[in-house]
Amino acid sequence: MKRAYNFNAGPAALPEEVLQEAQNSLLNFNNTGMSVMELSHRSKDYEAVHNEAKALLTSLLSIPEDYEILFLQGGASLQFSMIPMNLLQENKVGYYALTGAWSEKALKEASKIGEAAVTVSSKESNYTYIPDLKEIKVPEDAAYLHVTSNNTIFGTQWHAYPEGLTVPLIADMSSDILSTPIDVKQFDVIYAGAQKNLGPSGVTVVIIKKELIKANSSLPTMMSYETHASNNSLFNTPPTFAIYLLSLVLKWVEKQGGLEGIAAINDKKAKALYDVIDNSNGFYKGHAEKDSRSKMNVTFTLQSDEITKDFLQQAKEAGFVGLNGHRSVGGCRASIYNAVPLEHVQALASFMENFQQKNS
């Protein structure tokens, strides 16, 4: 079977090697005579999978001992509520950097819990850029500063983060975690839905400083970080198969040379597409400003709606999937997460060049 050129924004491509490994053990995991999906989450066989995933993540990201790793459900969208419920104290304000639709949603949910405000925004330009770090002001009444590291819809990405803060820095890294080395110590909370770079949909990773995890009897039990931290994320039945696939993806990342190896490949993939856009004499126009471009989501428009429709139709016929742009931007979007092979990106770059030659 020929694999599709999968450029979906999420759920997104998974490494073929990972899918094959999961297929091979689907009916009989570790000689148990059962699938991972059938194992009790209290069994030693599943516990080994669970703890291995945590250990692999700790190793790849160099997570310090004073951080806790949680495997939760509800996607990043549930974290929009859990963060203020656990960290937004009375008489304090949660500050948000608005750089796209997901940061808007995070702000909206926080506003339902307590006081939340915008500290910096690029909304006036339809989110074409990441604001300069010098523009970020964190007032004394701040409980935390929240950023969204990569913006899937608009194709922008933070390439540096605020330093020297006196309040926790929280980052939604759903769409670029594990794509390049980061200093976890720079953040107090990192959270990410798995369905772009970590694995399949169904599990959300939260990396949080232990000192921020506090019991709060007024919170619903499942909404408290303390509940999950004190139970090794096994308070309730976790998404066992998704965590198993997460562990396989982490092993695959190790084989690629860790985050340094993955980053080098991602740089090549992004350059292949942005070079086509930049050398097209305006045939393709990137949405994001160059210094804010995402290496995960390449967004671009063509010269008219008609030619865009032709591009997308011919791309579909050629086997390219998921290139439609979001309605907020229009045009096209190629999501080139870790698992998208370089060869698939190069094939798209060639298609774009050929399409331009035929339609110029």
Residue positions annotated with a catalytic role: 102, 172, 196
**Residues 96, 117: contact at Cβ < 8 Å?**
yes
Write b or e for each residue in 275-294: b if 16 or more Cβ atoms lie within 10 A of its Cβ, otherwise e: ebbeebeebbebbbeeebbb
Q: Are strands 93-98 and 169-172 parallel, antiparallel or unpaired?
A: unpaired
**Residues 179, 296: contact at Cβ < 8 Å?**
yes
HSE of 8, CA atoms in CB hemisphere, 13 A: 13
Distance CA 146, CA 252 (A): 30
Q: Which residues pair with 67 in a beta bridge?
A: 209
What torsion do the CA atoms of 262, 179, 73, 92 make, to the nearest 10 degrees? 150
Phi, psi of 37 (to 5 degrees): -65, -20
**Alpha helix ranges (H) inside the chain:** 16-24, 44-61, 75-87, 101-113, 225-229, 240-255, 258-278, 305-317, 342-359
